[in-house]
Structure 1
């Protein structure tokens, strides 16, 4: 009995020590877990901050050519950007999409500058000033504050029918990482065509710039028809731009003097030649990147040899054949002239007979 009581007393005395040890060990484990969590969060925070501070480079260009194009929405290739004129069946045109996103502060727009484009915070667009400048009716949206203004624009107040062209900044790059040529859009600017007085020619007003990368996630959600033959809207505006289905003439290149093509080439013929040569140089650079394989070289030589043989055969043809062919052609021409002269002489006679009947 005494032994049992002694054992109970010893156990009761040891229990507080055991509990204290457990609490200390659990506290240590909780502390280490918490510190690990803090370290993980800190690492994640650093990475997140670094990611937001620096953009991820998607390309490593070894060669680049930047041009500015004007997309005329009267061109059938660019009709996708204009239609539908009114939102229907979940479809919308590009301008209404852009204006809603800007008014709702979902994307950032930048001022259109006469000089070099600068997509920085200092040139961020004041949305209210832009809406007032172009006389677009708007109201304050729900949740709008002084620091974060939001605007609501009715469909009838959106001047989408006056957006008849777009400016785009297009970058043609050769990526050294995968040795591929890429055509990438950097920014888009809607251009308002507005007639101040009836009968006058419309004046073009570039409204604002939007970076394509900011707009891209929303373009991927906007379905469009890319063909009149297929009435299923199975493509998106992102597909349209990624496939380079648009058509536009170059009005400016990125140059040291920051001059437009019309300033560099005042003569219309010189301007057209310069535009064509820029497109040809871009295409030629892409074609010159690859050395043709032996089969391609052999095929080109065969085509050249066949062409030379045809030219030589024509040159070596007997002179009598060439003369007879020329005589035959001249006879046909004489017959055609005679037929035309007969028809011309018959017209006054028919006219006189009608006049005689009237008398």
Structure 2
């Protein structure tokens, strides 16, 4: 009997000791599965969920209560401009480096990026105008196949590298936002959206036609651009910057083709004359770049410094000297002598006289 009770007690003790070990093993296996899933997601996209959330939080604009002034402009980026060459090259994927359009297409095909329809004259980033990737691929004649795990809810596609028309995307439309933060006391420039523009000629020898493809919000694609290293000039071939650095530092160059206005008209519609259009574009550029400088009242020291500079400039001007000419050792003034006008006086008698010649007596 005692041996039976001893056996039961020993079995109970072993069972109690095994429960924490099993629980610890179960928790560790759960954590391992979650970490494996997270690692697989990171390996697939190159961006972890934590990094994606942090980048999205950093891209949030200041609230309207913090802003004292805001201007939304639309730019057209020509990739043939040397300043924008970093967005076009490399044309083919080389050593893990891809141009901007290839990154967009890979993310759209895998369902990791949301794009929106291009609407003529306006843009709407709502579910109503969410881009259907299959329709876009068919519209621009891009060959594709349904990817692994394809379903109606999760549409993924496989696109061969040679079928991506990256060499035909020769421009981008950009929505740029300039805002003055009253709390920080400075001007900030942010890229809100990007639209690749396809240049395609219907017939050989004809001028290429521009086809805006779709809009992508910069906040959505920013986490992926922050992990893609590029080199921005020909002097240093070591990729040390990212696409996110390129846009945040404003290294791109593009002309303004529209500003947000009440009538929703482009610059070409508002200024049909080319000279007036160029003047208006330059005026907007100068206003944007000098807005934060003109908003502050100069201090007393700055005013005194400007006054001292103006006084020194006036004192440095020497008085004008009379120019003289030297002829055969004689110094002759170049000032012409004034002519004296003599008034001729006519003498007349004080009384009239009569002739008495041949007068009869």
TM-score for the superposition, normalised by structure 2: 0.70
Correspondence 1:82-101 to 2 at 5 A: 82-101=88-107
Aligned to 1:130: 136
Note the C-alpha offset of 1:322.
11
- 1:320 equivalent in structure 2: 323
1:297 aligns with 2:300: no
- Taking the aligned partners of 2:99 and 2:313, their CA distance within structure 1 comes to 50
Cα distance in 2 for residues equivalent to 1:140 and 1:192? 24
User: Quick one: distance in 1 between partners of 2:322 and 2:96?
Assistant: 72
Q: Which residue of 1 aligns with 2:62?
A: 59
What is residue 157 of structure 1 aligned with on the other side? 163
CA deviation map 1:246-282 (0-9, x unaligned):
1110000001111000001000000000101111111
Query: 1:287 aligns to what SS in structure 2?
Result: helix
Alignment partners' CA distance in 2, 1:322 and 1:277: 49
User: 1:149-201, CA deviations, whole angstroms, 9 ceiling, x for partnerless residues?
Assistant: 11111111111111111000000001123222100011000000111112211
Secondary structure of residue in 2 paired with 1:245: coil
Offset at residue 307 of structure 1 (A): 3.4
The equivalent residue for 2:126 is 120
| Rg comparison, structure with higher value | 2
Query: Counterpart of 2:150?
Result: 144
Look up the SS of the partner of 2:323 in the other structure. Answer: helix
CA shift for structure 1 position 318: 1.9
> Residue 124 and residue 308 in structure 1: after superposition, are their counterparts in 2 closer, same or farther (change >3 A)?
same
RMSD: 2.0
Aligned to 2:263: 257
1:182 and 2:185 are equivalent in the alignment: no
Matched, 1:76 2:79: no
**CA distance, structure 1, for counterparts of residue 314 and residue 93 of structure 2:** 59
**Unpaired stretches in structure 1, ≥5 consecutive residues:** 1-50, 324-359
Change (3 A) 1:75 1:319: farther
- 1:273 equivalenced with 2:279 (yes/no): yes
2:227 is aligned to: 221
Shift, 1:93, TM fit: 0.4
Instruction: Give the equivalent residue in structure 2 for 1:32.
Output: none
| Rounded Cα–Cα distance in structure 2 between residues aligned with 1:122 and 1:263 | 28
Distance 1:253 1:321 in 2: 60
CA contact (8 A) 1:59 1:177 kept: no
What is the number of residues matched between the two proteins?
A: 267
* 1:283 to 2:285 alignment: no
Alpha-carbon deviation of 1:136?
0.7
- Tell me the TM-score normalized by structure 1: 0.71
Matching residue of 1:206: 212
- Does 2:90 match 1:110? no
- Displacement of 1:134 after TM fit? 0.7
Q: Equivalents in 1 of 2:69, 2:132: separation in Å?
A: 35
